């Protein structure tokens, strides 16, 4: 179910109305759970069983970790994590794993027929978060994560995993952030102005920017890109960079706004990533919930930067490689992760040895380098077949003599401009010069509402639904 669909608006209105009824104050968690299960089952009801199974396994395993003796706690937590990874591997990577082995045609046909459950990458990571947080936690921390009643703990865990604002495409929640928030909510606690701003900005980025840009970046696909000029190919890549930001950041803002309406606070998932002047800075700003998850649950356990310089570089490469594979069962995603891991490792090696002067010109050049690298790497998302990626680069080199399609270039730049202005506004607002904002903030939201009403593109799935 799309946040932009009429069906969702009906579901939200009913859920919100029931949630804050005085007679329903003790049933807020069940109301959210039922609404979330309807939301998830709307398009693929048969896959609801997988979500329920995941919640059940993580509930029981985390409960047993707390209520078992010390000898068995690590074993139970390990089995729970392995089950989560097994579900993810079977449903998402079965075909990729099977490609390593000689297998009969019937097996290959079976692997191809296995559906990819929407959101599985997100809710399996959240299950892992619960198990690891419970295992690591001290007595006081465990009290906030695991209820004394197994039924109550199962209910709380099901809400944590299935809560509809984040269920399909994040942000990835951590158990120690979400579970302590489960308590009775009141209508008066809602910060209406903040929710309004989050939702309007999110819907604008998705419906006006991303949904319009998708009609122009569609031509990046094979074999269409072969018939476009080098200039158009580069502009389309720029447009796709703006599209994927608007699409995913828009989803995250909507999710944060919706959760806040029900009294739950999610951490920000984006922090103006395209102003980053280093790759490290970029990953502190882009998909923050994933980068912090990988840092906390993978990079640090691998040893982080505590075991020497070479091991640090290796840990970066492993973390980003697996982070790339998390996005999809194709080697292009793994290469994307490795490329970012290599960029982080090289940057870490060079930074203390070749420090650049802190001048505007050098910051701009660094930012342009990071943005250019990130934009080129997005091609691995748009074209999962690696040979098509190489073909795209080849076309950029070969099609220099083709006449540019200036109308397409204008349209891409037009619909990309809100992303540019969004980042520029942030830079100006927080620059040392403290440039004054010309218009009061409500003018921006009025303009966004105007364009949402009159210039939304054809509705499309959020890009991160496929992950």
| Cβ partners under 8 Å of residue 251, min gap 6 | 3, 169, 170, 202, 206, 462, 464
User: In this structure, are 152 and 236 located in the same domain?
Assistant: no
Give the pLDDT of residue 433.
53
Give the pLDDT of residue 105.
53
Poorest-pLDDT segment among 10-19, 62-71, 120-129, 433-442: 433-442
User: In this structure, are 117 and 223 located in the same domain?
Assistant: no
Within-domain flag for 163? yes
Q: Is the pLDDT of residue 419 over 90?
A: yes
Give the pLDDT of residue 114.
57
Q: Is the pLDDT of residue 109 over 70?
A: no
Give the pLDDT of residue 110.
47
User: In this structure, are 98 and 235 located in the same domain?
Assistant: no
Count of domains observed in the chain: 2
Residue 131 near residue 58, CB atoms below 8 Å: yes
Q: Is the pLDDT of residue 169 over 90?
A: no
User: In this structure, are 125 and 272 located in the same domain?
Assistant: no
Residue 415 near residue 247, CB atoms below 8 Å: no
User: In this structure, are 452 and 370 located in the same domain?
Assistant: yes
Within-domain flag for 28? yes
For 47-60, write each residue's pLDDT tens digit.
Answer: 899 999 999 999 99
| Cβ partners under 8 Å of residue 246, min gap 6 | 205, 206, 209, 210, 213, 418, 419
Residue 134 near residue 66, CB atoms below 8 Å: yes
CA-based nearest residue to 319, from 343, 349, 347, 355 = 343
User: In this structure, are 77 and 220 located in the same domain?
Assistant: no
Enter the DSSP assignment of 321.
H
| Cβ partners under 8 Å of residue 75, min gap 6 | none
CA-based nearest residue to 158, from 62, 23, 86, 281 = 62
User: In this structure, are 11 and 82 located in the same domain?
Assistant: yes
DSSP 83-115: HHHHHHHHHHHHHHHHTTS---HHHHHHHHHS-
Supply the mean pLDDT for the chain.
Answer: 87
Poorest-pLDDT segment among 177-191, 326-340, 419-433: 419-433
Which residue in this structure is represented by tokens 């903040």? 194
pLDDT interval class at 168 (50, 70, 90):
confident
How far the first Cα of the chain sits from its last, in Å, is 16
Q: What is the domain range of residue 119?
A: 6-189
Give the pLDDT of residue 444.
85
Residue 259 near residue 15, CB atoms below 8 Å: no
Higher pLDDT, 167 or 393: 393
User: In this structure, are 68 and 121 located in the same domain?
Assistant: yes
Domain finish residue from 134, 166, 189: 189
User: In this structure, are 88 and 49 located in the same domain?
Assistant: yes
Give the pLDDT of residue 92.
78
Within-domain flag for 291? no
Within-domain flag for 298? no
Which residue in this structure is represented by tokens 């999809």? 328
Question: CA gyration radius for the chain?
Answer: 23
67 given a catalytic annotation:
no
User: In this structure, are 77 and 180 located in the same domain?
Assistant: yes
Reduce the secondary structure of 261-318 to three states and give it as a string. Answer: HCCCCCCCCCCCHHHCCCHHHHHHHCCHHHHHHHHHHHHHHHCCCCCCHHHHHHHHHH
Give the pLDDT of residue 397.
93
User: In this structure, are 95 and 182 located in the same domain?
Assistant: yes
Within-domain flag for 57? yes
| Cβ partners under 8 Å of residue 9, min gap 6 | none
CB atoms within 10 A of CB 112: 10
Encoding tokens for residue 317?
């490469």
User: In this structure, are 181 and 206 located in the same domain?
Assistant: no
Give the pLDDT of residue 385.
85
Domain finish residue from 151, 174, 189: 189
State phi, psi for 373 to the nearest 5 degrees. Answer: -65, -45
Domain finish residue from 158, 189, 220: 189
Q: Is the pLDDT of residue 245 over 60?
A: yes
Within-domain flag for 149? yes
Residue in 327, 340, 388, 423 annotated catalytic: 327
Which residue in this structure is represented by tokens 């998302």? 381
Within-domain flag for 343? no
pLDDT interval class at 147 (50, 70, 90):
confident
Whole-angstrom distance, CA of residue 246 vs CA of residue 241: 9
For 180-231, write each residue's pLDDT tens digit.
Answer: 999 999 998 999 999 999 999 999 999 999 999 999 999 999 999 999 999 9
Within-domain flag for 382? yes
């Amino acid at each position: 179910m799309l946040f932009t669909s009429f069906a969702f608006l009906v579901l939200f209105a009913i859920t919100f109305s029931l949630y804050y009824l005085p007679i329903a104050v003790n049933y807020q968690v069940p109301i959210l759970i039922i609404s979330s299960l309807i939301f998830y089952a709307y398009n693929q009801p048969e896959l609801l069983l997988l979500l329920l199974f995941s919640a059940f396994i993580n509930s029981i395993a985390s409960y047993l970790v707390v209520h078992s003796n010390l000898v068995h706690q690590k074993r139970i937590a390990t089995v729970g994590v392995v089950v989560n990874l097994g579900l993810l591997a079977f449903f998402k990577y079965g075909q990729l794993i099977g490609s390593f082995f000689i297998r009969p045609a019937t097996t290959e046909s079976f692997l191809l027929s296995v559906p990819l459950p929407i959101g599985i990458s997100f809710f399996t990571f959240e299950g892992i978060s619960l198990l690891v947080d419970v295992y690591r936690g001290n007595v006081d921390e465990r009290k906030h994560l695991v209820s004394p009643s197994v039924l109550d703990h199962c209910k709380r865990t099901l809400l944590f995993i299935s809560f509809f604002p984040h269920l399909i495409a994040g942000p990835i929640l951590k158990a120690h952030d979400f579970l302590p928030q489960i308590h009775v909510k009141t209508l008066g606690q809602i910060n209406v102005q903040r929710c309004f701003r989050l939702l309007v900005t999110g819907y604008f980025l998705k419906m006006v920017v991303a949904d319009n840009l998708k009609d122009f970046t569609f031509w990046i696909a094979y074999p269409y890109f072969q018939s476009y000029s080098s200039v158009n190919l580069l502009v389309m890549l720029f447009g796709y960079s703006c599209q994927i930001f608007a699409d995913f950041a828009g989803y995250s803002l909507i999710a944060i706004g919706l959760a806040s309406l029900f009294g739950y606070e999610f951490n920000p998932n984006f922090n103006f990533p395209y102003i980053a002047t280093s790759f490290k800075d970029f990953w502190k700003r882009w998909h923050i919930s994933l980068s912090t998850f990988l840092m906390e649950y993978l990079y640090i356990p691998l040893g982080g930067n505590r075991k020497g310089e070479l091991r640090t570089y290796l840990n970066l490469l492993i973390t980003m490689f697996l982070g790339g594979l998390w996005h999809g069962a194709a080697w292009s995603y793994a290469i994307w992760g490795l490329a970012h891991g290599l960029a982080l490792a090289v940057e870490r090696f060079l930074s203390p040895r070749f420090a650049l002067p802190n001048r505007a010109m050098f910051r701009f050049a660094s930012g342009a380098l990071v943005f250019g690298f990130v934009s080129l790497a997005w091609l691995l998302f748009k074209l999962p077949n690696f040979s098509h990626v190489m073909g795209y680069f080849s076309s950029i080199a070969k099609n220099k003599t083709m006449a540019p399609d200036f109308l397409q270039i204008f349209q891409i730049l037009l619909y990309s401009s809100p992303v540019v202005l969004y980042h520029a506004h942030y830079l100006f607002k927080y620059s040392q010069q403290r440039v004054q904002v010309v218009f009061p903030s409500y003018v921006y939201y009025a303009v966004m509402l105007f364009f949402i009403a009159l210039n939304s593109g054809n509705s499309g799935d959020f890009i991160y639904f496929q992950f």
